[in-house]
Amino acid sequence: MNTVRLYIKSMAILMKSQLQYPLSFALQTLAQLVMEGGELLAVILLIDRFDRLNQWTPGNLYFFFGLMSVSFYITECFGRGITGAFPSMVRSGQLDTLLLRPRGILTQVLCSAIDPRRIACIAVGAVSLVIGSRMSQIAWTPVKALLLAESVFCSFWLILGLFMIEAILCIHSVKSVELANTLTYGGRSACQYPIDTYPQPLRVLFTVVAPFALVMHVPASHILGKPLFAWPLWTAFAAPLTGFVLFGIMYLLFRQALRFYRSTGN
């Protein structure tokens, strides 16, 4: 509990520092809004031309898009320490100071940065979710609401875990490794559409290696009333837990990697 309090306190301090330059902050947030709006525009234009994607109606597609945006950018907002700041912490030797303090490294890294500009992207995602839900005429029940909450929550840990791959690699090689982007940003681009869009190799990649399909698409398809692969309801609750599993594995690897950490000096 102490850790959670520490995290909330650091977030409050960081927020305050971010808002010191209100104009710059507002412009950057606006830029984020335009960026995510552009992604949504691409989906709208594709739907305008093609009407549907397999069995998915336009409303369904907005729902999938919204689920991905909300989850991905919540992670980028609150997990900024891992998703953005970590490589430079290793390069500059800033990580050394964290090693001296009596707290977990990961806690401190997560407490060191926040990216409130992403709120604009989360908003676009939320709007898309609402529109998608309206157009798909989802009859909301407590079970469905719980499924959605679980999916977003588990996605956070999944995406954080995927970003930790880059963190782990950059402890070993100092330079940040662009290749890890294929799973994080590539996963975002690919899995904003349901998994059955893709041929077998990509399906395997996004189910087994980076289980976006299990964490997002399986529960979402149940909420939409079109279960993927006709899987039963209990799978929709069980599948997202793979997000935790992936995060757990990455956490262990991260601790292992830190034992090999060599400071860059300064």
Partner 1 sequence: MKAYFSVFRLRRRLETQYRGAALGGIICQIFFGLVLIALYRTLYVGKPQTLPLSHITTYVWLQQAFFRMLVASDADLMDKIRTGGIAYDLCRPISLYGFYYARILAQKLMGSLLRAVPMLVFAALLPEGWGIVLPASLPALLCSLAALIIGLFCVSALENITMAFTMRTLDSRGMQAMLNLLMMIFAGNILPLTLFPDSWQPIISALPYAQLLDAPIRLFTGEYALSQAGLILLRQGAWTAALVMLGRFMWQRNQRHLVVQGG
Q: Which of 21, 84, 134, 141 binds partner 1 (CB under 8 A)?
A: 21
Written as one letter, the residue type at 48 is D
Q: Residue 59 corresponds to which tokens in the numbers above?
A: 């409303």
Q: Which of 110, 111, 114, 190 binds partner 1 (CB under 8 A)?
A: 190
**How far apart are CB 117 and partner 1 at their closest, in Å?**
9
**How far apart are CB 100 and partner 1 at their closest, in Å?**
31
**How far apart are CB 34 and partner 1 at their closest, in Å?**
5
3-state secondary structure of 53: strand
CA angle (102, 107, 113) in 5-degree steps:
120
15 near partner 1, judged by CB under 8 A: no
Burial bucket for residue 70 (CB in 10 Å: 0-12, 13-18, 19+)? buried
Q: Which of 62, 47, 50, 52 is nearest to 192 (CA)?
A: 62
Length of the chain in residues, anyone?
A: 266
**How far apart are CB 184 and partner 1 at their closest, in Å?**
11
Q: Return the DSSP state at 192.
A: T
* Separation of CA 77 from chain center: 9
Q: Which of 127, 197, 226, 253 binds partner 1 (CB under 8 A)?
A: 197
Report the 10 Å Cβ neighbour count for 185: 12
Residues 123-182 that bind partner 1 (CB under 8 A): 177-179, 181-182
258 near partner 1, judged by CB under 8 A: no
Q: Which of 94-102, 135-143, 146-154, 195-203 is the region at the interface with partner 1 (rule: CB under 8 A)?
A: 195-203
**How far apart are CB 21 and partner 1 at their closest, in Å?**
7
**How far apart are CB 27 and partner 1 at their closest, in Å?**
3
* Separation of CA 137 from chain center: 26
Contact between residue 219 and residue 148 where contact means Cβ atoms under 8 Å apart = yes
**How far apart are CB 140 and partner 1 at their closest, in Å?**
28
Contact between residue 183 and residue 162 where contact means Cβ atoms under 8 Å apart = yes
198 near partner 1, judged by CB under 8 A: yes
| Angle, helix 242-259 to helix 142-173, in steps of 10 degrees | 20
Residues 27-66 that bind partner 1 (CB under 8 A): 27-32, 34-35, 38-39, 41-42, 45-46, 48-54
Q: Which residues contact partner 1 (rule: CB under 8 A)?
A: 21, 24, 26-32, 34-35, 38-39, 41-42, 45-46, 48-54, 177-179, 181-182, 186, 189-190, 193, 197-199, 202
